[in-house]
Chain A
Amino acid sequence: MLQQAFIETLTMVGASTAIAAVCGLPLGLILACTASGHILEQPVINRILGAVINVGRSIPFIILMVAVIPFTRFVVGTSIGTTAAIVPLSIAAIPFVARLVESAVFEIDRGVIEAAQSMGSSPWQIIWKVLIPEARPALVLGLTITTVNLVGYSAMAGAIGGGGLGDLAIRYGYQRFRADVMLQTVVLLVILVQALQTLGDWASRKLSRR
């Protein structure tokens, strides 16, 4: 039971992190590059995108999960289960990742971007050869935070039958007074989060050449 829940958690967190990263990275880059004074300054696009992302971030997850049920059914064919839970988890994480990417890009010294421009780089070349590589350590740290957040969010996935460790703790540990199950799941969650954070810190350090 515990093992199955653990695998469900890993599936939900892993898949939604991957999807959020893939969708959030370009969104974050657009957000950063269209900001005023940046390489593709576009105030209107920037403001609209920023507003949409803020809306996404302000909806409580449990409500979001229910609200997107029709969309979930459309994408994965069902609205309950582990796979179905991946959809709202990803949707919740995408705006979060976008903001993290934006701030990671803003961290890059403007002088470095100016240097690339002075050498005749196109905006596209600056994104690929300067922004992404230079932001990599910060991006890895941001992704670590996202993953840990998603571990927490995934506990709520029980509401739509997503399963996972958090769900197990609520249904067995809390509602059926099984203190042993509660303890086991919590310990497992703590270990998982610690492991993820350690891995993220290590990878970020490894990438940083400062």
Chain B
Amino acid sequence: MIQLKGISKTFSGAKAVHALNNVHLHIPAGKIFGIIGPSGAGKSTLLRCINLLETPDQGEVWVDNVRLDTLSPKELRRARQKMGMIFQHFNLLSSRTVAENVAFPLEIAKVDPAQRRLAVAELLELVGLSDKANAYPAQLSGGQKQRVGIARALANKPRVLLCDEATSALDPETTKSVLQLLKSINEQFNLTIVVITHEMSVIQEICDLVAVLEHGTVQEWGPVVEVFTRPQAQATKRMLRGTFAANIPPELLDRPSQSRGPRRLLKLSFVGDRAHQPIISHMVQNYKVDANILFGRIDQMKDLPFGMLVLELVGDEERLSQAVSFLESQQVELEVLA
């Protein structure tokens, strides 16, 4: 749906800033694609290159098989009408009511007034703000403002929705509900959504794919579960620190064993259905080893449960190796630590 080919952007000034450096991205249709990175990584610039609010110095921007960076201003404006965008600070027109704000892009696209009214009512229904149609933005809470922003962004039935730190100004509770709304819109309209954020939880909750951006380059990208469970780039590992099971408290590994005799220290990672199945209990019953859970946690990534356990197995040598090979046959990510 969206393809960025070799995008570079430098901001000139007293000190030139290389915001983006040869960025390649392919964002498939109907997916929620997250771009995460620390502030100053170039996320905002990258997002703005997609709808050409920033003009890249180099590279090509393709959306829906149209190359945007070579369009005339007029053609570009038409293309932008098919791309919605929401913002961290909502950017609603303070002089317009909620309904008038949602009607704005329809006016821009010269939709006739009768149709406009119909569409606005429908959109407000969708975001659950029908009763606020005549309120002004100043009378709304942050979450409500962002819902207006979403309704406005969807008005012209876009193929793509760009979200610029859309939940960063909201409290955790409101963030959740706005993310749920984005997720349901994605499913309902098969809308491609690009999210930039510095919050891990946003990616974890709604994204299918993620790209990690640092110093203006994509460090790695892929399905969220893959990137988060098997991070390759240093940037990803740094970000994951303390968030996910990726790291085990070191004192666990150094602790002397409580039991005499052979033992194994294992790290198991489960993704999806596997996280629901009683693998450990099977192992204990069938191979007669003792399992001691040293550390564990279960997280949710979008709809996938993702769990991690650190186990100490105690038993005789033969049973231990049988137990380990059983676990290896179970499609769980297994790492023998000691």
Which single member of B80, B95, B107, B108 contacts A136 (CB below 8 Å)?
B95
Judge whether B277 is part of the interface by a CB distance below 8 angstroms: no
In the assembled complex, the CB of A157 is this many whole angstroms from the nearest CB of chain B, namely: 37
Judge whether A114 is part of the interface by a CB distance below 8 angstroms: yes
Does the CB pair B93–A118 fall under 8 Å? no
Does the CB pair A133–B95 fall under 8 Å? yes
Does the CB pair A115–B91 fall under 8 Å? yes
> CA of A114 to CA of B93 in the docked complex: distance in angstroms?
11
The residue on A at minimum CB distance from B162 is A118
Chain B 144-163, CB within 8 Å of chain A: the 1/0 string? 00000000100010000010
> CA of A112 to CA of B91 in the docked complex: distance in angstroms?
5
Does the CB pair B92–A112 fall under 8 Å? yes
Binding site for A on B (CB under 8 A): 51, 53, 74, 76-81, 83-85, 87, 89, 91-96, 104-105, 107-109, 136-138, 152, 156, 162
> CA of A82 to CA of B59 in the docked complex: distance in angstroms?
64
Does the CB pair B81–A119 fall under 8 Å? yes
Does the CB pair A120–B109 fall under 8 Å? yes
Which single member of A109, A118, A133, A134 contacts B85 (CB below 8 Å)?
A118
> CA of A139 to CA of B159 in the docked complex: distance in angstroms?
38
Number of interface residues of A (CB under 8 A): 21
Which single member of A120, A122, A133, A207 contacts B93 (CB below 8 Å)?
A133
Does the CB pair B94–A118 fall under 8 Å? no
Does the CB pair A117–B95 fall under 8 Å? no
> CA of A169 to CA of B61 in the docked complex: distance in angstroms?
70
> CA of A117 to CA of B76 in the docked complex: distance in angstroms?
10
In the assembled complex, the CB of A94 is this many whole angstroms from the nearest CB of chain B, namely: 26
In the assembled complex, the CB of A83 is this many whole angstroms from the nearest CB of chain B, namely: 37
Tell which of B51, B80, B94 has the most Cβ of chain A within 10 Å.
B94
Does the CB pair A114–B53 fall under 8 Å? yes
Jot down 28 A-B pairs with beta carbons below 8 A, ordered by A.
Answer: A109-B91, A112-B94, A114-B53, A115-B91, A115-B92, A117-B80, A118-B53, A118-B80, A118-B85, A119-B81, A119-B84, A119-B85, A119-B104, A120-B76, A120-B79, A120-B80, A120-B108, A122-B74, A125-B107, A129-B107, A129-B108, A130-B93, A133-B93, A207-B95, A209-B136, A209-B137, A209-B138, A210-B138
Nearest 6 pairs of A and B residues by beta carbon:
A120-B80, A115-B91, A120-B81, A118-B85, A111-B91, A120-B77
